[in-house]
A = this chain, B = another copy of it.
Amino acid sequence: MRRAVKVFQHERRLRTAGGLSVRDITDEVNEAVAESGIKDGIACVYSPHTTCCVRVNEFEQGFMDDFAALLKRLVPQESYYAHDDWDRRTENICEEDMEFGNGHSHCMSMLLGSAGESIPVRDGELLLGTWQRVLFIELDRERDRRWLVQVVGS
């Protein structure tokens, strides 16, 4: 199909629970896609934070617990992190971080991959598989957060 392009953006705020908590944002993302009026295109769901990410996977509590255990095993919070070493650090000084070290959270988010997910849109809906949900993952403490969705298509 050849048509004029549409670009739509939507942003939402949330308060996370901290501690590797996961929020299922699928319905909100689909509402935004519906509001965009875009029938076919790509939706980029994006976390603008460096210690959160958006992932597509199943939302089942047992799996969330399994994955949290895995992440904690691979990236233990109690290790030494130069990012949290205030005798050494000179860049990006943030008062809040001095109280709550989050070197492990940064390492987790880098290991998890990209900040967002690009998902095909068809017939005005995210083209998710049967068990796929859009998940907002907090890798740091309880915080005020945002996520964005950018839809490009026609």
Contact = CB atoms under 8 A, between A and B. Distances in A.
Given A89-B62, A106-B66, A132 B2 contact: no
Tier of interface size on chain A: 35 or more
Determine chain A's interface SS by DSSP, over half rule: mixed
Contacts of A65: 82
A46 B114 contact: no
A63 B103 contact: yes
Interface in A1-40: 1-7, 9, 40
Interface of A: 1-7, 9, 40-42, 44, 46-50, 55-58, 60-63, 65-67, 70, 74-75, 81-85, 88-89, 91-92, 94, 103, 106-107, 109-122, 127-132, 146, 148, 150, 152-154
